[in-house]
Amino acid sequence: MSADTRTAAIVAASGFSSKLGKMIDVAEGGMLWTLSPTSDLIGNPVMRALHGGAVTAFLEFACGVVLARQLDHDSIPRLISMNVQFLASMRLAPVIARPQVRRIGRRVAVAQIEAWQDDSDALVCTAQCEFLRRSD
């Protein structure tokens, strides 16, 4: 995984890194994420479409790491809820995503993410994640 040291440390400390870590690349200072899936992540073998759970885990992971960096935490905050919209089936090709922290409140932080495969104007998935801010 190519990223700055802080992002790499947060990623390494996460349970997601054991399964998805080698498939993920981070660029633009942690603001552009790419999942280069392997055939392990196929959910529909007839269509050769990616499993929605694997894509959801990737989206949650990216949002959590970006938020942890912004909050200056060493680990991903606890997820409260996540709303995912699958807009098109995703084939076995790189999924590129751009997470953004939308709001940080006293107790809850909100991040959104958009994902595409070939064309950034043709989204395949979007999500909004609400995370619990830990008490310091």
Q: What is the pLDDT of residues 41-71, one digit of tens each?
A: 888 888 888 999 999 999 999 999 999 999 9
Q: What is the DSSP letter of 14?
A: S
Burial class (CB within 10 angstroms; exposed 0-12, middle 13-18, buried 19+) of 94: middle
The domain segmentation of the chain, as residue ranges, is 5-132
Q: pLDDT: is 3 or 47 the higher one?
A: 47
Average pLDDT over the chain, rounded to whole? 88
Q: Is the pTM of this model over 0.85?
A: yes
Label residue 4 by pLDDT band (50, 70, 90). Answer: confident
Structure confidence at residue 17 (pLDDT) = 67
As a whole number of angstroms, the distance between CA 66 and CA 43 comes to 27
- Give domain 5-132's CATH architecture: Roll (3.10)
CA 93, 111, 68, 99 torsion: positive or negative?
positive
Label residue 101 by pLDDT band (50, 70, 90). Answer: very high
Kindly give, in sequence order, each residue whose CB lies less than 8 Å from that of residue 61, ignoring residues fewer than 6 positions away: 11, 14, 16, 20, 24, 76
How many beta carbons lie within 10 A of that of residue 10, not counting itself?
Answer: 23
